[in-house]
Structure 1
Amino acid sequence: MKILLAADGSECTKKAAAYLMTHQAMLEGGELVILHVQPALPPRVEGFVGHQTVADYHRDEAAKVLEPIKTFVGRHELNVRTRWVVGRPAHEIVNVAREEGAHMIVMGTHGYGMIGRALMGSVAQGVIAQSDVPVLLVQ
């Protein structure tokens, strides 16, 4: 099974990764793709500092999130890759899952509840609404 782990660097992501490591049978013979979505910077920033500076910033920020998770799951004999993209998180998570042919999306959730989601929105809620494959939320 190919699983896409959406990673934002939060404690929720760590819990989702730990869940997968304690349920490795889900990954047997498959692949784990760890994805981090960087929010886009305002266009005027790129105009001010230049394209390469913005690209370097995104790469460095993604590495800060992805490397610790890759190190954690790397202790296990799994087929693991990392990816990062720039865009709207829910939309990009679903798009990458489709591109990768993922069978499932796993992600941590902050568990703010109905009022919190109404006020702040929820990446998990957006992924569930748009995804064609099962979504496993770990709280």
Structure 2
Amino acid sequence: MKILLAVDGSDCTKKAVAYLVNHDSMLEGGELVILHVQPALPPRVEAFVGHARVKEFHEEEAAKVLAPIEEFVRRHGLAYHARWAVGRPADEIVKASVQEQAHLIVMGTHGHGVLGRALLGSVAQGVLAKAEIPVLLVR
């Protein structure tokens, strides 16, 4: 089974990673893709500091999130590859699941409930609405 693990570096991400490590049989003979998505910076920022600096910023931010997760997964002997993207998180997660031909999306959720999602929006809710494969939310 190929699993796409969407990560943002939060405590919810840590719970999702721990879930996969504790249920590593889900990955037997399969592959783990770790994905971090960052929202795009406003165009005026790129105009002010330049494209190269914005790209460098995104690379640095991705490394801050991905490095500890990769180390944790590596210590537990799971086969994986990591990638990152810039854009709307729910859209990029679903797009990556298609590109990677994933069988399952795993992600942490803050569990704000219906009212919280209505007021704050929810990446998890967006992924659930758009994904054509199963989504496992770890709370």
Shift of 1:76: 2.0
The correspondence of residues 65-104 of structure 1 with structure 2, limited to 5 A, is 65-104=65-104
- The alignment-based identity, stated in percent, is 69
The correspondence of residues 1-139 of structure 1 with structure 2, limited to 5 A, is 1-139=1-139
- SS state at 2:106 partner: strand
Structure 1: gaps (5+ residues): none
Shift of 1:81: 0.6
Residues 90-111 of structure 1: CA deviation (Å, up to 9, x unaligned): 0000000000000000000000
Structure 2: gaps (5+ residues): none
Shift of 1:79: 1.3
Shift of 1:77: 2.1
Moved over 6 A (4+): none
Normalising by structure 2, we get a TM-score of 0.99
